Structure formats: structure tokens, C-alpha cells
Amino acid sequence: MLLENKVAFVSGGSRGIGRALCEVFAREGADVAFNYNSSEDQAAEVVAAIENAGRRALAFRVSVTDRPGCNRMIREVLEAFGRVDVLVNNAAINRADSFATMTEKAWSEVMDVNVNGLFNITKPVYKQMLRRREGKILNITSIGAVRALPTSVHYATSKAAVLGFTKCLSREAGQFGIAVNAIAAGIFDTDLGNTLPDKFLEIYTAWSSSGRLGHAEELAEFAAFLCCDRNSYMNGEIIMIDGGSVT
């Protein structure tokens, strides 16, 4: 029960890593709210899993790119649950593309979700954490932000922005009792991970000392510790979870 009686908000919580985060956090004792973009059936399954763990659940069909919608959503979470102790910024998209053929629309779409969405969710949550002088923020970035992997330039750039966001916000937030850390995720067996070319996925499993892609639950288990009170002296850190990649 690492997160007993905590309230968590997970962006992009209906599938993949986000779904695993919601389910593990609920198992560890947290009430969980999350948003999703389009997966109604999957969101309902996540709500059921949270409630089956004996915790309260809230789901919102709100895009992280909708700033007014995000503000309203967080207000509703605060009205229902009273506070947000833990925020996990997980929502992200990727588009298979080369820089030579990439359009301005594709660039803007990825940046809007992965960077502007980070701002849109964090700002209203952070303000209530400031008033309470406590909280945990965990940002999910990618090893593509720090290593020369054959992923899309717009995705890698957006995830590199998450590194700067984490480092600088941790400096500001730490003086108010708020910890801000990040997980740089390797390749996981999720919808997002499987957008990568098959050839690269094969090479990645050969690079990894674990010899396989990651499972979303494995990241979520560690995230639960990062966001719990026992983890009381870590701030501004980027933790690699990539199965022991040697690149």
C-alpha cells in the first residue's frame, strides 16, 4: 500500500503505460482520476479495475491539448476528491515519419500533445500543490530523448523537452515540498511502442540485456515507489527503465 489514501491523476490513462499506472496505483491504495482521448470502452475497463481494487475512480474524455477543458477537469477532480497528491504526465503520441517528409502539421500535432499537453495538465495541479506545500509529479519521457535511436525527430524533440521541464520545475518546486522526477522509458509492448518498425524492435531486443520489450506493469510498479512518501529525497532525477539497453 505505497499510495494508501493518496489521490492520483494520470494523463492518458486508458491504455498502455497509462492504464498500468492507474491499475497499480489503485492496488497500492490511491484513488485515481485520469483522462483519455477516444478509447471509451478501454476507459470503462480501467474505471472498473480501479473500483474493483476498492478505490474511487474518475475518467474524463478530455484531450490534453484542450487547455480550458483541462482546467475544468482538474477543478472537477478537486471538487470530488479534495486534492491531487500525485500527478503522472503520461499522455503522448508518436508518428512514424522522417524529418525530410515531415509536415508542419505533423510537427505541431506531436508538440501540441507532448509539450503543450504537459503544461496544460501540470499547471492547475501544481497550483493546488503549491497551496498545500506537498505533492509528487512524475513525467514519462523516453530514451529517445537522450539516445540516437531511429525514432521520429518530432517525438524525440518533444520528449527532450520533458527532461528540461522536469529539471527546472524540480528546482522551483522543491522549495515548496513538491518533488518532480521523470522516467525515461525504453521500448514497451504497448500501442505506442509498436508504432516502431519491426526491424528496430528486433534490434532493440538484441541490445537489451533483458532480451525483450518491457511490460507496462513493470514501469508502473517502479512509478508507484517514486510517487510514494517513502521516496522522500529524490528530486529532479531522470530514471532510465529500458531493460538494460547498451546503446
* pLDDT tens-digit series, residues 201-229: 777 787 788 888 889 999 999 999 999 99
pLDDT for res 240: 94
Mean pLDDT along residues 181-203 = 79
Instruction: Say what the pLDDT of residue 95 is.
Output: 85
Residue 155 burial class via C-beta count within 10 angstroms: exposed 0-12, middle 13-18, buried 19 and up: buried
pLDDT band at 246; cut points 50, 70, 90: low
Does some domain include residue 93? Answer: yes
Share of the chain above pLDDT 70, in %: 96
For residue 66, give the C-alpha cell: 484542450
Domain enclosing residue 133, as ranges: 7-241
State pTM to two decimals: 0.94
At residue 187 the predicted structure's pLDDT band, cuts being 50, 70 and 90, is confident
Mean per-residue pLDDT of the chain:
93
The values of phi and psi at residue 100, to 5°, are -65, -35
Q: Does residue 246 sit within a domain?
A: no
- pLDDT given at position 247: 53
Number of domains comprising the chain: 1
pLDDT tens profile 44-72: 999 999 999 999 999 999 999 999 999 99
pLDDT value, residue 205: 81
Q: Per-residue pLDDT for 83 more than 80?
A: yes
* 1 part of a folded domain: no
Whether the pLDDT of residue 194 is over 70: the answer is no
Q: Are 138 and 86 in contact (CB under 8 A)?
A: yes
Query: Sorting pLDDT into bands at 50, 70 and 90, what band is 11?
Result: very high
Residue 2 forms part of a structural domain:
no
Catalytic residue (choose from 126, 155, 204, 233): 155
> Is 90 a domain residue?
yes
User: What are the distances in angstroms from CA 69 to CA 19, 33, 124, 129?
Assistant: 21, 15, 11, 20
Please report, rounded to a whole number, the percentage of residues in the chain having pLDDT higher than 90: 79
The pairing of beta strand 86-89 with beta strand 7-10? parallel
User: Would you state the pLDDT for residue 170?
Assistant: 98
Any idea what the CATH number is for the domain that residue 228 is in? 3.40.50.720
What is the β-pairing status of strands 7-10 and 31-36? Answer: parallel
**Any domain includes 84:** yes
Q: What is the pLDDT of residues 117-156, one digit of tens each?
A: 999 999 999 999 999 999 999 999 998 888 877 678 999 9
155 flagged as catalytic:
yes
Residue 247 lies in a domain: no
Inter-CA distances, 215 with 99, 124, 178, 190, Å: 29, 31, 29, 8
